[in-house]
Structure 1
Amino acid sequence: MEYRDTARDFLGVGWKFPVEVDPVTGRVRTASSEENIQESVRLILLTGKGERMMHPEFGCDLRRYLFGVVTYTACTQMAQEVRQALIRWEPRIRDIETYVELDPADSARVLVHISYVVRATNNPYNLVYPYYINEGLEG
């Protein structure tokens, strides 16, 4: 009898991003289990609200901070925006915590820190997403 991890099956399978074709099988590469959730989190962060015609509320509105002044208030607002988007659009995770800080190595970039727990497996995960606020500007 084959053992199946039904908790991981629940996490699903989705396209791997960026989208790639497997040269051996000719099929689109996929991500499964926790990797699928990480891909989903990145997709939510990379998609601006209004970008999807049939789903205009999907995504995270980080683009409104482009070319803005990075202050403590702006970082707090960005962290809240990310947290609310993940709560709304990724039901497979819980205990979501976010904070945003200016990258000490690059003044044109902020680091979005995300931690969460996968509901089905109770596994904790952390992700640091670099986001360019003032790309191409001299610091």
Structure 2
Amino acid sequence: MTTEEWIGKGPRFPLRPGPAGNLEYVTGDELIRQAIGTILDTDPGERVMLPGFGCGLRRYIMEPNTTATRAAMERDIEAALTRWEPRIDLTNVAVTPGEEPSLVWIDISYVRLVDRREDNLVYPFYLR
């Protein structure tokens, strides 16, 4: 089984037609990054058939950009990614303040389990 077969293939989100008019699909690193983004963008209870799915970052909107808020976000992100993304081994999650008072940077470091390749994703999130 190849690395790409193990990671899988899925539709690109948002759904849109490709150049030939059919749906576009993603594989490999792009699929994993898209899955991480989906987990971060989804609130638990939002998906009817999978009510526990998601991270719930929206609950931090309008919270102060403090060390306590960022630490709570880190814990929630670690728990959600550990539970919902089985293709990676999470190595680090860091939530740091951005240039603007309402901006935080979410830095996610992980290892792909299929080939032990290290990767990271930086995700901006606005608290206001």
TM-score calculated relative to the size of structure 2: 0.94
Aligned: 1:86 with 2:90: no
Q: Is the 8 A contact 1:113 1:128 kept in 2?
A: yes
What CA distance in whole angstroms lies between the structure 2 residues aligned with 1:96 and 1:61? 21
Query: Does the Cα contact within 8 Å between 1:102 and 1:111 map onto a contact in 2?
Result: yes
1:67 shift after superposition? 0.2
Residue of structure 2 aligned with 1:10, choices 1, 6, 10:
6
Structure 1 residue ranges, 4+ long, deviating more than 3 angstroms after superposition: none
CA distance in 2, matches of 1:48, 1:18: 17
Q: Which amino acid aligns with 2:59?
A: R
Q: SS of 2:91's equivalent?
A: strand
Measured in 2, the distance between the counterparts of 1:56 and 1:95 equals: 23
Scaled by the length of structure 1, the TM-score of the pair is 0.87
AA matched with 2:49: M
Counterpart CA distance in 1 for 2:90 and 2:43 is 23
For 1:46-85, list aligned pairs within 5 A.
46-85=41-80
Q: Would you say the 8 A contact 1:8–1:120 is kept in 2?
A: no
Matched length: 128
Determine helix, strand or coil for the equivalent of 1:58.
coil
Aligned-residue offset at 1:96: 3.1
Counterpart of 1:116 in structure 2 is 110
Residue type of the alignment partner of 1:78: M
- Root-mean-square deviation (Å): 1.2
| Structure 1: gaps of 5 or more residues | 135-139
Structure 2, unmatched stretches of 5+, are: none
Render the CA deviation track for 1:67-108: whole Å, top value 9, x for unaligned: 0112101101101101110000000000331010110x2212
Percent identity between the aligned chains? 35
